[in-house]
Amino acid sequence: MSAAAADTVEQLMGRVALRDHSAFKVLFDHTASRLLAVASRVLLDRAQAEDVVQDVFVKLWNQAVQRTPSQPCTLAWMCVVTRNMAIDHLRKRRPETPLQWVDADGDEHQHDVADAQYSPMEQLLAHEDGARLGSCLKRLEPEPRQAVLFAFYEGLSHIQIAQRMQKPLGTIKAWTRRSLMRLKGCMEACA
Amino acid sequence: MNWYQHHETVDQLAAAYVLGTLQGPARRRFEALITRKTLLRLAVDDWTGRLAPMLTALPPVEPSPALWKAVAERTAVQDSAKPVPLWRRIFSAIPAGALAMGVMVGVLAPALWNAQLGGDPQAQLPASYVGVLGTAEGKPGLIVSSLRHGKSIDVKQVVAVPVPQGMQLHLWRIDTEGRVLPLGPIPSGKWVQVPLPEPAERLFAQAVELAVSIERVDDKPVAPQLPFVYRGLCGKLWK
Taking only the tens place, the pLDDT of each residue in B8-65 is 889 999 999 888 888 878 888 888 888 677 788 888 888 988 888 888 888 899 999 9
CA distances from B19 to A56, B30, B51, B161 (A): 19, 14, 8, 43
C-alpha triplet A30, A33, A38: angle, nearest 5°: 125
- Asked if A69 and B96 come within 8 Å (Cβ–Cβ), the reply is yes
A54 at the B interface (CB within 8 A)?
yes
- Regarding whether B27 and B123 lie in a shared domain, the answer is no
List the beta bridge partners of residue B212: B171, B230
Contacts of B96 in chain A (CB under 8 A): 10-11, 13-15, 17, 69, 73
Question: Using CA atoms, how far apart are residues B72 and A25, in angstroms rounded to an integer?
Answer: 9
Do the domain assignments include residue B198?
Answer: yes
Q: What is the pLDDT along chain A (191 residues), one digit of tens a residue?
A: 444 454 478 778 777 776 778 888 999 999 999 999 999 988 888 999 999 999 999 999 888 766 654 566 788 888 988 998 998 888 777 554 455 555 566 666 555 444 434 466 666 666 666 678 888 988 999 999 999 998 988 888 899 899 999 999 999 999 999 999 999 999 888 76
Do the domain assignments include residue B122?
Answer: yes
Question: Using the 8-state DSSP alphabet, how is residue B136 labeled?
Answer: T
Largest CA-CA distance found in chain A, in angstroms, rounded: 56
Residue that terminates a domain, selected from B35, B56, B77: B56
Collapsed DSSP state (helix, strand, coil) of residue A55: helix
CB B27 within 8 A of CB A103: no
- Regarding whether B155 and B193 lie in a shared domain, the answer is yes
> Which of B49, B84, B107 lies closest to A76 in CB terms?
B49
**Nearest 10 degrees: CA dihedral of A21, A74, A131, A116?**
-50
- Regarding whether B181 and B99 lie in a shared domain, the answer is yes
Number of Cα atoms under 13 Å in the Cβ half of residue B171: 30
Question: Using CA atoms, how far apart are residues B161 and B158, in angstroms rounded to an integer?
Answer: 10
**Optimal mutation site among B30, B39, B40, B54, interface A, most CBs of chain A within 10 A:** B54
B104 at the A interface (CB within 8 A)?
yes
- Regarding whether B47 and B99 lie in a shared domain, the answer is no
The sign of the dihedral angle between the CA atoms of A130, A131, A132, A138 is: positive
Taking only the tens place, the pLDDT of each residue in B203-228 is 999 888 898 888 888 888 887 776 67
- Regarding whether B219 and B103 lie in a shared domain, the answer is yes
Long-range contacts, A123-130 (Cβ 8 Å, 24+) = A123/B57, A123/B58, A123/B59, A124/B53, A124/B54, A124/B57, A126/B57, A127/B53, A127/B56, A127/B57, A129/B53, A129/B56, A129/B57, A130/B53, A130/B54, A130/B56, A130/B57
Taking only the tens place, the pLDDT of each residue in B62-107 is 999 999 999 999 987 544 444 444 445 444 445 445 555 555 555 5
A158 at the B interface (CB within 8 A)?
yes
CA distances from B174 to A13, A14, B224 (A): 20, 17, 11
CA distances from B163 to B112, B132, B212, B214 (A): 31, 20, 12, 7
Domain that includes residue B152, residue range:
86-237
- Asked if A14 and B138 come within 8 Å (Cβ–Cβ), the reply is no
Domain count, chain B: 2
CB B214 within 8 A of CB B164: yes
- Asked if B71 and A57 come within 8 Å (Cβ–Cβ), the reply is yes
B60 at the A interface (CB within 8 A)?
yes
> Which of B19, B47, B104 lies closest to A148 in CB terms?
B19
- Regarding whether B23 and B90 lie in a shared domain, the answer is no
Nearest to B204 by CA among B147, B142, B126: B147
Q: What ipTM does the predicted assembly reach?
A: 0.76
- Asked if A127 and B101 come within 8 Å (Cβ–Cβ), the reply is no
Predicted TM-score of the model (pTM): 0.56
- Interface contacts A/B by beta carbons within 8 Å: 204
Q: For chain A, which domains are there?
A: 3-95 (1.10.1740.10), 98-190 (1.10.10.10)
Largest CA-CA distance found in chain B, in angstroms, rounded: 62
